[in-house]
């Protein structure tokens, strides 16, 4: 069943909303300009690493919902404003009990907890604004459901870097089962010391701008952001055509070296949509710039698509936004479809010769077919692929 996209919005280091993000994509295509070079985060040992920080003021959390006052939830409010007209229309048509909500996150309000713990360690009082509920993984969906006063099913998923991509699958199933008439899906993650230093301890963090699929790649850059989509059965120009999921059951943090789970998720998405590999116009790769992920993804893509379908990773533009990555990259996929923008190039100095042959985007390349596959692969071998396209006529 196709899920139609009634509205979508997003915020990341690229900017707030479609116009700012489109301008940043064009700047990357023309000049190699990326907002990821604007901000650095200091690691525990004093080294610096680039981060994808959202700039500008964010909406404040209403006083009545103060226990949920986290940066994560403020990012969600910024994005909510972008889909609010379509959402209000759905609420008026279907009622608050028939609108669902599924979000993904991996950090929730950990940043606020870090500040509280730091104050306690200094012998100071915990900041009065801190509330334990800010850091609970269920906080984003609980907050947004209360903010919107909706009473349909509402919950949060946390499957690391596939969290918000998996939210689409849950939303799709809700609609197919007739549990709701519309569902908000997406996710949010904000920068915090725990994740940044955690990835550094795994030796997966780059001290310079990340270079997916480059022979000299050193690892990821962390970013932050949020994206929200309103899905329904009502026809609209954009649609989620198919979705696939799999579990490697291989290792707690490393992907299966051959990418068998990644390939299975992509195959499932294509099969659900009734689409052949040749009918895909572009693949937004997970492309974290770690040695293991890029290697396995190249082999999985090559087995299914060969070197025929243009593909690239947008991580050098947004940073890896972890639990929000699937939804933010889904929004970028929809933006490419909606505005027929040039595809984001993969800027590499030397492609790693150990990778399988895939068609990394270079130069001015545009969609040859109105379908974009977006990959999200997470710790624990939790794989999701989403296929977006222009609605069937």
Catalytic residues: 161, 286, 320
∠ CA 331-335-58, rounded to 5°:
55
Q: At a CB cut-off of 8 Å and minimum separation 6, what does 266 contact?
A: 244, 300, 301, 304, 373, 375, 385
Closest C-alpha to 260, from 235, 297, 290? 297
Give the other-Cβ count within 10 Å of 377's Cβ.
Answer: 31
As a whole number of angstroms, the distance between CA 337 and CA 389 comes to 7
DSSP codes joined into one string, 140-201: HHHHHHHHHT--S-EEEE--GGGHHHHHHHHHHHHHHTTS-SEEEEEEEE---HHHHHHHHH
In angstroms, how far apart are the furthest CA atoms of the chain? 65
301, 355 contact by CB (below 8 A): no
Q: Phi-psi bin for 347: left (phi > 0), alpha (psi -120 to 50), beta?
A: beta
What Å distances lie between residue 375 and 64, 160, 175, 244, 266, CA to CA?
A: 38, 14, 22, 10, 8
Token look-up 């933010």 returns: 328
């Amino acid at each position: 069943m196709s899920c139609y996209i009634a509205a979508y919005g997003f915020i990341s280091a690229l900017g707030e909303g479609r116009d700012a993000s489109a301008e940043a994509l064009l700047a990357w295509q023309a000049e190699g300009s990326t907002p990821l070079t604007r901000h650095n985060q200091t690691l525990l040992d004093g080294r610096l690493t680039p981060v994808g920080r959202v700039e500008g003021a964010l909406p404040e959390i209403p006083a009545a919902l103060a226990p949920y006052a986290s940066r994560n939830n403020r990012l969600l409010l910024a994005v909510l404003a972008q889909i609010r007209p379509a959402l209000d229309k759905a609420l008026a048509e279907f009622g608050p009990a028939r609108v669902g909500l599924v979000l993904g996150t991996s950090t929730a309000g950990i940043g606020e907890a870090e500040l509280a713990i730091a104050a306690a360690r200094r012998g100071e009082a915990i900041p009065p604004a801190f509330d334990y509920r800010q850091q609970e993984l269920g906080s984003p969906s609980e907050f947004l459901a209360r903010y919107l006063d909706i009473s349909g099913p509402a919950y949060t998923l946390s499957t690391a870097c596939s969290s918000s991509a998996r939210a689409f699958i849950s939303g799709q199933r809700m609609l197919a089962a007739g549990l709701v008439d519309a569902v908000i899906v997406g996710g949010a993650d904000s920068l915090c010391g725990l994740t940044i230093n955690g990835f550094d301890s795994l030796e997966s963090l780059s001290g310079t701008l990340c270079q997916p699929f480059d022979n000299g790649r050193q690892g990821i850059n962390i970013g932050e952001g949020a994206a929200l989509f309103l899905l329904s059965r009502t026809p609209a120009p954009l649609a989620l055509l198919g979705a696939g999921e799999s579990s490697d059951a291989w290792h707690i943090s490393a992907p299966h070296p051959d990418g068998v789970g990644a390939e299975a998720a992509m195959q499932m998405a294509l099969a659900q949509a009734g689409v052949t590999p040749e009918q895909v116009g572009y693949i937004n790769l997970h492309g974290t710039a770690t040695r293991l992920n890029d290697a396995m993804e190249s082999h999985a893509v090559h087995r299914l698509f060969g070197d025929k379908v243009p593909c690239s990773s947008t991580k050098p533009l947004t940073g890896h936004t972890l639990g929000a990555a699937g939804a933010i990259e889904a929004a970028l996929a929809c933006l490419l479809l909606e505005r027929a923008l040039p595809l984001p190039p993969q800027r590499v100095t030397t492609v790693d010769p150990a990778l399988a042959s895939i068609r990394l985007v270079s130069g001015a390349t545009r969609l040859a077919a109105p379908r974009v596959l977006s990959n999200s692969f997470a710790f624990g071998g939790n794989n999701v692929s989403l296929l977006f396209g222009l609605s069937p006529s």
